[in-house]
Amino acid sequence: MGEETTGPLIALRDVSRVYGEGEAEVRALDGVDLTIGEGEFIAIMGPSGSGKSTAMNIIGCLDRPTGGSYLFHDVEVGRLDRDQRAILRREYLGFVFQGFNLLPRSTALENVELPLIYKGVPPAERAARARSALEKVGLAGREHHQPSQLSGGQQQRVAIARAIVDNPMVLLADEPTGNLDTHRSREIMELLVALNRDDGITIIMVTHEEDMAEYAHRIVLFVDGRVQSEDYRPAEREG
Amino acid sequence: MLWETVRLALLAITRNALRSFLTVLGVVIGVAAVIAMVTIGQGSSEQVTSDVESLGSDVLMLRPGSSFGGPGVSETVAEFTLRDADALRELSVLSAVAPVVNSPATAVYGNANSSTTVTGSSNDYLDVANWTILRGRGFSPAEESSGAAVCILGESVRQELFGNADPTGETIRIKTVSCDVIGYLEAKGAGMMGQDQDDLILMPIRAVQRRLVGSTDVSSFQLALAPGVSADRGTREIEALMRERRRIQIDEADDFRVMDMAQIASMLTSVNSVLTGLLSAVAAVSLLVGGIGIMNIMLVSVTERTREIGIRLAIGATARQVLTQFLVEAIVLSVLGGVIGILLGFAIAFAAARLMAIPFTPSIEIVGLAFVFSGLVGVVFGYFPARRAARLDPIEALRHQ
């Protein structure tokens, strides 16, 4: 991957996140340094309570650090208010969750259209873009199915289509294969790899499964609220 | 974008159709009550006004006693007599003087009978009270002065005793009096208070006094003003005459009362509007309760849909967009209730108008008002739940099961 002339896409410097005060104080993150460049595919691993989900929430601009600095595209996220972060999420980020998090009584197409509604994209263009996103994840013809009519793997594909429908710079995936069997998991991972390789989408994925982490360029290991190790993978799976 | 939000709100509402309906029931009842009350109120005031107009604005009424309802329980007031009628006829401000005495009685013809009111008066009564003889004739001067047993039937009495047959020339029995029918009146329909105006029999006043009541009292006068005489001037002259005739001292109050039709009408309509106002207040309370119902269900809805809100926030909805969504949902809900209420209210008012024989007068203003008010209920009571939704923390909301 080529070097950026400006700052890195994502730069966390001595980031801490503290919940509670005094006796009840919990340091979920305790001095995290992490740099992620455009086009990377990162897997974040670690035991439960290691702070990987907290780190994910901060990187995803759902939460703000209580200490340190988080620069996204040279913007200090800690200084953005709720709505500014919402707009940042809308414009640059896409989310995929372990539990899919689709709106249950809306069709696949409606779910994928959702981010575009909040952006104010006109209906006809919205539907067209949602259709092509669904096609990209291999769900052409399922536009009018509701989540309950789709398998787990298909639901996760809808969620991925929703995440990429507005061409985000970064896709954040929190245990995307946590609810899926091995076969479906591999299909999802291959989809993510393709999005990373063909569309240049930066992917940051939290997982506790070694097999899934293998797909990433780099595995970041969290222990006790800190980055313990960063393991660069050979580019064996590319190509 | 707004239409989009309204569509989404309708979707959310129809998903829980039964619950949505129960939620808006309060608003439906409130709005329906307001619409029905106001429409019925307007209709009946219109009826009163047109009735009074049909009586003529140049008609006065003279009654004993000091209040509208006639003599009170403790009052002992001298009744009028026909000598008062003669005195009133001397006044140049009056063009017609109709002394009136009423007696409830049952009229019988063959096997048919009719419970009605016998009104004793003179031919002047026909003019003053706006009656038209459809067939037959009025009383002759001889019949009036002698108190002959002749009668003119109201349409309802004619129907009950004779059906559609012509009653003139027949003889009916009223109490113990045999009475020749000399004519019948054109129908008038229901009166100001919903009573049947055509349920009456007219007889010369002397006949009623002597044969049915057994006294020489006159219970009231209906008087027509001469052309160009104002009600005020007529009232003043009648009062002066009556004070003199009844020997009322200068420092004593009148023991009779002269009313013009405008006064009678305003008395009737004021009763009407007090009633309308009271019921509208009750309806307003119901609207308030309805609003609280909407707030309650919206709060439940926000809790139920916490996860959905979390998803929306995570994928980039701003707080304002979430607020708008829930606010619009509350407004759509209560406006829907308002629309149902408006239709229901008009249906009730229409049925009531038919029943009470008053005009059905739907007004566009009240529809607009009900519409705006129900929307306002949505805004006021929807804001708090919507703000709660908008302020949810996306991380917490996503974790919510």
- Asked if B5 and B312 touch (Cβ cutoff 8 Å), the reply is no
Determine contact: A82 vs chain B, CB below 8 A. yes
Beta pairing, strands B256-260 & B59-64: antiparallel
Determine contact: A63 vs chain B, CB below 8 A. yes
Cα B373 to Cα B140: distance, rounded to the nearest angstrom: 63
Residues with Cβ < 8 Å from B313, sequence gap 6 or more?
A86, B319, B322, B392, B394, B397
The mean predicted confidence, pLDDT, of chain A is 90
3-state secondary structure of B118: strand
Asked whether residue B303 falls in the same domain as residue B208, the answer is: no
Residues with Cβ < 8 Å from B346, sequence gap 6 or more?
B35, B36, B39, B362
Q: Is residue B47 part of a domain?
A: yes
- DSSP E strands, chain A: 10-19, 26-36, 41-45, 67-72, 75-76, 93-96, 170-174, 202-206, 218-223, 226-232
Q: Is residue B251 part of a domain?
A: no
Nearest by Cα to B201 from B114, B80, B85? B114
Interface test with A, best of B315, B387, B400 (most A CBs within 10 A): B315
How many independent structural domains does chain B possess? 2
- Asked if B220 and B63 touch (Cβ cutoff 8 Å), the reply is yes
pLDDT score recorded for residue B66: 64
Q: Is residue B14 part of a domain?
A: yes
User: How would you class B401 by CB atoms within 10 Å of its CB: exposed for 0-12, middle for 13-18, buried for 19 or more?
Assistant: exposed
Asked whether residue B273 falls in the same domain as residue B220, the answer is: no
B 165-194 residues inside an 8 A Cβ radius of A = none
Position A1 confidence tier, pLDDT thresholds 50, 70, 90: very low
Residue B379 distance to chain A (closest CA, Å): 22
- pLDDT (tens digit, 0 to 9) for every residue of chain B, 401 residues total? 677 788 878 888 888 888 888 888 888 988 898 888 888 888 887 877 777 766 666 888 888 876 544 444 445 678 888 889 899 989 888 888 999 999 899 999 988 888 999 999 998 888 888 888 989 999 999 998 898 999 999 999 999 999 888 898 999 999 889 999 999 999 887 765 667 888 899 999 999 999 998 888 898 998 988 888 888 888 889 999 988 888 888 888 888 888 887 777 777 777 777 877 887 788 778 888 888 888 888 899 899 889 999 999 998 899 999 999 999 999 998 999 999 999 999 999 999 988 887 888 888 888 888 888 888 989 999 999 999 999 999 999 988 87
The DSSP H or E segment spanning B360 is none
Q: Which of A1-15, A150-164, B67-81, B110-124 has the highest mean pLDDT?
A: A150-164
Q: Is residue B235 part of a domain?
A: no
Domain end (from B170, B196, B224): B224
* Structural domains in chain A plus CATH codes: 40-66+81-237 (3.40.50.300)
Residues with Cβ < 8 Å from A169, sequence gap 6 or more?
A9, A38, A73, A92, A93, A201, A202
Domain end (from B224, B257, B276): B224
Asked whether residue B278 falls in the same domain as residue B391, the answer is: yes
Determine contact: B337 vs chain A, CB below 8 A. no
Two tokens, residue B123 = 């031919």
Domain end (from B197, B224, B251): B224
β-sheet bridge partners, residue B64: B256
Q: Is residue B243 part of a domain?
A: no
The values of phi and psi at residue B172, to 5°, are: -115, 165
Cα B200 to Cα B203: distance, rounded to the nearest angstrom: 10
Beta pairing, strands B94-109 & B171-174: antiparallel
Asked whether residue B39 falls in the same domain as residue B102, the answer is: no
Asked whether residue B289 falls in the same domain as residue B201, the answer is: no
Q: Is residue B388 part of a domain?
A: yes
Cα A78 to Cα A67: distance, rounded to the nearest angstrom: 9
Asked whether residue B272 falls in the same domain as residue B382, the answer is: yes
Residue B32 distance to chain A (closest CA, Å): 33
Q: Is residue B73 part of a domain?
A: no
The values of phi and psi at residue B241, to 5°, are: -60, -45
Beta pairing, strands B220-225 & B94-109: antiparallel
Cβ of B374: how many Cβ atoms within 10 Å?
30
- Asked if B401 and B307 touch (Cβ cutoff 8 Å), the reply is yes
Residue numbers of the domain that contains B159 = 96-224
Q: Is residue B176 part of a domain?
A: yes
Position A235 confidence tier, pLDDT thresholds 50, 70, 90: low
| Residue in B1, B311, B316 closest to A103 by CB | B311
